Amino acid sequence: MKKLTRKEKLFADGLLEGKDKGEAAIDVYDIESDNKVNVGGAIATQNLKKLKIIQYLEDNGYGAATRIVKLSKDAQNETVRLNANKDILDRSNIGVKQPINAFQFNFNSDKGSYA
């Protein structure tokens, strides 16, 4: 497997630290554009198609998850513990869902039909 460039590694490490892909790209790459968000997102999308970056993320993801779990239990700061727990829930796709309302009526849809 090819080795990551310094910027690719910094980008991937940013993702493992919990940054979103656009933010990780903006932090690493020298983007000289008025629209850094879109350019950062495009760079991130290109990077996430590279097999060497995908492999790096897969190889190092367990360590990142382990560090997050450790933070959720051992951090001295309550905010850090709460954010680590939130991150665990977000990554596992568990969290507070919006309740489903079984009775969703549009009372205006039949307006005037019962005259």
Answering whether pTM is above 0.75, one says no
- HSE, CB side, 13 Å, CA atoms: give it for residue 69: 7
Question: CA torsion sign, 6 to 12 to 51 to 1?
Answer: positive
Q: Look at residue 46 in the predicted model and tell me its pLDDT.
A: 95
Structure tokens at 64: 């990142």
C-alpha 72/C-alpha 58 separation (Å) is 22
pLDDT digits (tens, 9 = 90+) for 49-92: 999 999 998 888 767 677 777 778 888 888 887 887 777 777 66
Mean pLDDT of 16-40: 88
Residue that has been written with the tokens 């307006």 in this structure: 111
Q: Look at residue 9 in the predicted model and tell me its pLDDT.
A: 95
Whole-number average pLDDT of the chain: 79
Give kind and range of the element (H or E) at residue 15.
Answer: helix 6-16
